[in-house]
A and B are shown apart, each in its own frame.
Chain A
Amino acid sequence: MSEYKSLRVAYGNSDPDDIDDGVIAIPAAVDRQYNVVDVWMRATGSMDTATSVDVTDGTTIFASFTDTALTNAAVVRIGASNTTATNLGTEAATNTAITVGTVGSDIGTTTALEWCIFYTITSVAG
């Protein structure tokens, strides 16, 4: 059965060092559960050393963009080549933030990474 929830968006244009550390895109909230439903990213410069940049709650990876996917200045949508969207649309853990971060080595020559995450929020009993 379809649900009709308000769509929210988190957008950022992050320094690669912050991505390497893991950026909190959507802070954790008490008794709230996020559901990431769509994502796009755009690198400024080349992503030549990291394995991927993932959108995750620390346990579940909702969207993963390999360095091959993130070419300079191209808007890359989840579901495109070299991205993995296995858990897109899966509820995140309750009380858990959504982060954007690097997997593998640090990002190389990229000067910035834009990320845009569409999501919904579910209230759960405390």
Chain B
Amino acid sequence: MATTTHPKVHCASGSLTLAEVNSNSGLGFIIVPPHGDRTITIVDGWLRAAGHNAAGATAIIIAETGATPTTVVSATVGGLDSSIIGRFGATNITATNVGTADTKGRGLQLGRTNSNVTTSHSIDYCIYYTVTV
């Protein structure tokens, strides 16, 4: 496969409160808004729990927005210790769909699975992604 373009890398970074992560019935908070004719592909990134080790939930996930979203990254709370950078693909941070194009027209959201995230003060994130039209 030959790459014929030079896609720019975009970076979404920030910090979400636990209320934001736990919102929307666990689907979480939209960190990259959807755009009708754009396709997002996550290529790398990291997560970090701030204030205390993450607990409560099964995992913190980064997924598409929209109905029945595909999960791109799933970090078990055991893999998110306080103030430690957890890179995608590291132990307990499954990066199954990193490098795979998301569904066209969808954004990205950061949420949790099963129970609410507890004990951490916030979840920091840094996500590298490309956008194609």
Q: Which A residues fall within an 8 A CB radius of B?
A: 6-14, 18, 23-27, 38, 40, 42, 74-77, 114, 116, 118, 121
- Contact between A114 and B89 (Cβ–Cβ < 8 Å)? no
- Contact between B9 and A14 (Cβ–Cβ < 8 Å)? no
- Contact between A40 and B44 (Cβ–Cβ < 8 Å)? yes
- Contact between B3 and A25 (Cβ–Cβ < 8 Å)? yes
- Contact between A7 and B3 (Cβ–Cβ < 8 Å)? no
- Expressed in whole angstroms, the Cα–Cα distance for A38 and B8 within the complex equals 14
- Contact between A9 and B98 (Cβ–Cβ < 8 Å)? no
Give the most central of B6, B9, B87, B128: most A CB within 10 Å: B6
- Contact between A27 and B9 (Cβ–Cβ < 8 Å)? no
**Minimum Cβ distance to chain B for residue A22 (Å):** 11
- Expressed in whole angstroms, the Cα–Cα distance for A12 and B101 within the complex equals 11
Contacts of A42 in B (CB 8 A): 89, 99
B30 at interface by CB-CB < 8 Å: no
Contacts of A26 in B (CB 8 A): 3, 6
- Contact between B128 and A9 (Cβ–Cβ < 8 Å)? yes
Give the most central of B41, B44, B88: most A CB within 10 Å: B44
- B43's partner among A23, A27, A116, A121 (CB-CB below 8 A) is A116
Q: What 5 pairs between A and B have smallest CB-CB spacing?
A: A75-B89, A7-B9, A8-B6, A24-B2, A10-B3
